[in-house]
Structure 1
Amino acid sequence: MAWTKYQLFLAGLMLTTGSINTLSAKWADMFSAPGCSGTPNHSFSHPFVQAVCMFLGELSCLAVFYILICHDRRRPAPTIEPGQSFNPLLFLPPAICDMAGTSIMYVALNMTSASSFQMLRGAVIIFTGLLSVAFLGRRLASSQWIGILITILGLVVVGLADFVSGNRDDSHKLSDVITGDLLIIMAQIIVSVQMVLEEKFIYKHNVHPLKAVGTEGFFGFVILTLLLIPMFYIPAGSFGSNPRQVLEDALDAFCQIGHKPLIVLALLGNTVSIAFFNFAGISVTKEISATTRMVLDSLRTLVIWAVSLALGWESFHGLQILGFLILLLGTALYNGLHKPLMARLPCWSTEQETETGDAGETERLLGAEKAAQES
Structure 2
Amino acid sequence: MRAVENHIAASFGAFENVLHEAESPDIHIDLCMVPPTEDRPYWTLVTMGMGAYRMNIPRELAAYHLERAELAICLPPEWKLDPASLREERWYWPVRLLKSLARLPISEDTWLGWGHTTDNQEPFAPGTDLCAAILVAPPQLEDGQERCTLPGGETVNFYQVIPLYRSELNYKLAHDADTLLNRMDWVSFVVDPARPDATTVDPPAWDHPVLDDAQMHLESIHEKALLVDEVAVFNHMAIYLRWCIEHGLMSTVFAEDYAAVIHRLREDPAHTDLRGFIRDKLAGQLLLNFFSPEGAAFSAFYYAGEDPSYPEDIDAHALDYFGPERYVSEEFQNEAYLFVPYDEAYYQAMAQVIQSRWDRWAQEIASDAALSGSSN
TM range (shorter): under 0.3
Which structure features the higher share of strand residues? 2
Give 1 or 2: higher helix fraction.
1
